[in-house]
Copies of this chain bind each other. A is one copy, B any other.
Amino acid sequence: MADFGLFETMYSAGAIRRIRPDPVPDEIITKVLDAAIRAPSGSNAQAWTFIVVKDAAKRQQLGAIYKKASAILTVLYADAKPPPHMDQSKFDRFWRSVVHLFNHMGDAPILIVPCLKQSMWTNAASLPDDIKARMASAARLAGSSIYPAVQNIILACRAYGLGTTLTTIHAFFEDEVRQILNLPPDVQSYALMPVGYPQGKHGPVSRKPVNEVACLDGYGKPWPG
């Protein structure tokens, strides 16, 4: 098959928050998901489910939850200043696009909700209590079995000219999301991704340079690269 450039794709797959309502062919979504599942998951368990929401009423319901969650984010950001790597005008542009998505999540022609079944270790009960405590303290690792696949979705969308962005605040109202998507008790959602053709263009992804975010042999000693 014709392919796309890996690095070209990575370097231009910025968040797209303004999305056209035009429909996306099912075949493209299937190709995006087929790329998603090439990502790793713990013990290669592939305990993931990707829910593709096309139904307009469900999209609007999820959009309303996202909007409700955005009120929390707005409080958290009320006094936010631009981080050191963004000047004020860049930060203002960023925030305007975030607010646009607050109001239009449900208007994207497709929403993808990546979900994960909680792992169940049949022998966990036999472990000593201190080990159980150590495992419980590592709850932050749960996403290691789903967010790599999410990144593949982002890259595959970019390759096919689709825009998307990784959002998570819907999960503040996970109880309502579960009802809309009929999630079983042991399955949780990890992201809400609007997918569709972008209103604007995919641009270059600018970031803090590597030597500010990489260290050699321990925290604090910059990587020389």
Residues of A bordering B, CB below 8 Å: 1, 3-11, 13, 15, 26-27, 29-30, 33-35, 37-40, 42, 44-46, 48-55, 58, 72, 75-79, 83, 85-86, 94, 115, 121-124, 126-127, 131, 134-135, 137-144, 146-152, 154-156, 159, 165-166, 168, 171-174, 180-184, 187-188, 190-191, 205, 207-208, 210, 213-220, 223-225
Nearest chain B CB to A20 CB, angstrom units: 21
Nearest chain B CB to A127 CB, angstrom units: 6
Chain B neighbourhood of A138, CB < 8 A: 168, 171-172, 174
29 contacts between A and B (CB under 8 A): A4-B7, A6-B9, A13-B38, A29-B223, A33-B225, A37-B207, A39-B154, A40-B165, A46-B207, A50-B214, A51-B218, A52-B223, A53-B218, A55-B217, A58-B217, A72-B127, A72-B135, A75-B123, A76-B122, A138-B168, A140-B188, A141-B143, A144-B190, A146-B147, A148-B150, A151-B151, A180-B218, A182-B218, A187-B219
Tell me whether B49 and A219 are in contact (CB under 8 A). yes
A166 in complex: contacting residue of B33, B40, B75, CB < 8 Å: B40
Tell me whether A33 and B210 are in contact (CB under 8 A). yes
Chain B neighbourhood of A27, CB < 8 A: 225
Give A205 to B103 CA distance when docked, in angstroms: 39
Give A122 to B55 CA distance when docked, in angstroms: 38
Tell me whether A144 and B147 are in contact (CB under 8 A). yes
A215 in complex: contacting residue of B35, B50, B123, B208, CB < 8 Å: B50
Chain B neighbourhood of A13, CB < 8 A: 38
Tell me whether B53 and A225 are in contact (CB under 8 A). no
Nearest chain B CB to A222 CB, angstrom units: 10
Tell me whether A11 and B37 are in contact (CB under 8 A). no
